[in-house]
Amino acid sequence: MRPAQTELLSPAGDMESLEAALRFGANAVYVGGETLQLRARSAAFDRERVLKAVTRAHAAGARLYVTMNSLAQNGEIEKAGEYARFLKDAGADAAIVSDLGVLSAVRAAAPDLEIHLSTQASCMNYAAARVYRDLGVKRIVLAREMSVEDIAELRAKTPGSLELEAFVHGAMCMAYSGRCVISSYLAGRSGNRGRCAQPCRWSYALVEEKRPGEYFPVEEEGGMTAILSSHDLNCVRILDELKDAGVTSFKIEGRMKTAFYVASVTRAYRMALDGADVEACAAELELIKHRPYSEGFYHGFLRENHANSGRYAHGAVFVGNVLGWEDGMLKVRQRNRFKVGQTLEILRPGPGAVSFPVEAIFTGDGERRDAAPHPNEVLFIPCPERAEPGDFLRRRESGET
C-alpha cells in the first residue's frame, strides 16, 4: 500500500492510542519497536504487539511505520539488521532510521523494507536528500528548522519519487532536530538514546560567580523562569502552504501522549485536511493540554514570540472512555472526576461534538451517585445521543498546570 496523496501520520505509544489514531482519521501510524526507538520503554511495542499493530492498521486501510531512529552503538548494528528482517516479515510498511550505520544494516538485511529518514538526521537541503535517496531512502522526514521556502526548493531539486514528511503538531524541544545533550549532562540520561529527562522544561535561576548559593530569578514576565521551555508546534492554519511546498505526509508528534490526546489532535487535522473551517479546527486544538502554540520555523522565525511560562493550558478535561450505548444509557469508563449537573461532550470522528447534561450516574449494580470520583470505574449515564465504543467524553474547563 502506498500512502494517500496527502497522508495524516499519527503517533501511538500503545494499542489504545493506535486504535484512537485509526478511528479518528489517521492514514498511517508510527510506533516504536524494541530496538533503537527514541522513547521510554513503556512506549515500545514488543514483537507480538508490532504484529498486532500491523494487522490492525492494514485492516483499517492504513500504514504502520516503526521507529529505529536513535543513534546506534557498535553492538546494535547486527541487531538492527535482524530486527529489520522481522519488520519486513511482519508486514510493517517502513522503518524510520537516522543513523547511517543502521540505514546500511537495514538495507543489507531487508532490501525490500521501505526506509524513512528520521528528522534526527537533520536533512535540510536537496543535495543531502539526493544522497539519502541514492542510499535507498524512500522518504525524508524534514529537519524541523526548515522554512516553507526551503522545503519548496528541496522539493523542486529532488526526484518526485522521494517523499517528503513534515511535523505539524506536538512538542518542540530546544535541540537541533531533536539532538541534544542537556539531559545527558544534567541527568545522565541521553535524549539521543531515548531517555531524555526533559531538562529544557525545568525552571532555572542565575548564579553570579562570586556569590555562590545566591540565586537570582530569571524572569521575562509574570514570574516566568522556564527560559529553555519551548512552545508546542501547531500548523493547522498552514497545511495548504506546506502541501504547496511539496509535503505529502503531515506528522503529529506524541508517542508518550494519551489516547485522548491522539484522538483529539488527529481529529482536528483530519477535519482540516478534509476541508473543514480551519478556525474551528484551531479551536479544537485549544481544548487539549498544550504549551503556548507556535508554527515553528516554517516562516523563518517564531511568529508567536510571546513569553513561555513552561505551563500547560487546556480548555477541556478528558473524563471517560465510551464503552457502549443502549436504550439511552451510556456505558463509560471513568478517567477523571465528573458529577451530576455538569455538561459533558462526546468526542467522536468528524466535525461537531455533541453535549449533554449529566442528570444521573449509576454503578453497574444500579446504585445512584452524585459524582464519579474513582478512576477506571465503569458507570452508566443517561444520554439521548448515541455514542460508540472508542468515543471519548470531555468536560469544558479552562485551566493551567
- Boundaries of every domain in the chain: 7-175+230-294, 313-400
CATH topology of domain 7-175+230-294: TIM Barrel (3.20.20)
DSSP labels, 316-369: EEEEEEEEEEETTEEEEEE-S-EETT-EEEEE-SSS--EEEE---EEETT--EE
Assign 41 a pLDDT band (cuts: 50, 70, 90). Answer: low
Assign 196 a pLDDT band (cuts: 50, 70, 90). Answer: confident
Taking the C-alpha atoms of residue 109 and residue 51, their distance in angstroms, rounded to an integer, is 19
pTM of the model: 0.90
Assign 172 a pLDDT band (cuts: 50, 70, 90). Answer: confident
Determine the 3-state secondary structure of 82 from DSSP. Answer: helix
The confidence score (pLDDT) of residue 197 equals: 75
C-alpha cell at 148: 516553507
Helix (H) or strand (E) holding 88: helix 77-90
The confidence score (pLDDT) of residue 203 equals: 74
Assign 223 a pLDDT band (cuts: 50, 70, 90). Answer: low
Encode pLDDT of 87-98 as tens digits: 999 999 999 999
Please indicate whether residue 205 or residue 364 has the higher confidence score (pLDDT). Answer: 364
CATH topology of domain 313-400: Elongation Factor Tu (Ef-tu); domain 3 (2.40.30)
Encode pLDDT of 340-353 as tens digits: 999 999 999 999 88
Taking the C-alpha atoms of residue 172 and residue 251, their distance in angstroms, rounded to an integer, is 13
- Residue 38 clears pLDDT 70, i.e. is over it: no
- Residues 146-151 have a mean pLDDT of 97
- Tell me the torsion sign for CA atoms 376, 11, 110, 178: negative
The Cα angle at residue 94 between residues 88 and 96, in degrees rounded to 5: 120
Q: Which of 273, 199, 255 is nearest to 12 (CA)?
A: 255
- Residue 217 clears pLDDT 80, i.e. is over it: no
Q: Which of 364, 355, 366 is nearest to 395 (CA)?
A: 355
Phi, psi (deg, nearest 5) at residue 239? -60, -40
The confidence score (pLDDT) of residue 1 equals: 47
Taking the C-alpha atoms of residue 211 and residue 207, their distance in angstroms, rounded to an integer, is 7
Assign 2 a pLDDT band (cuts: 50, 70, 90). Answer: low
- Would 7-175+230-294 and 313-400 be classified into the same CATH topology? no
- E strand residue ranges, 148-274: 163-171, 205-207, 215-217, 232-234, 249-252
- Residue 332 clears pLDDT 80, i.e. is over it: yes
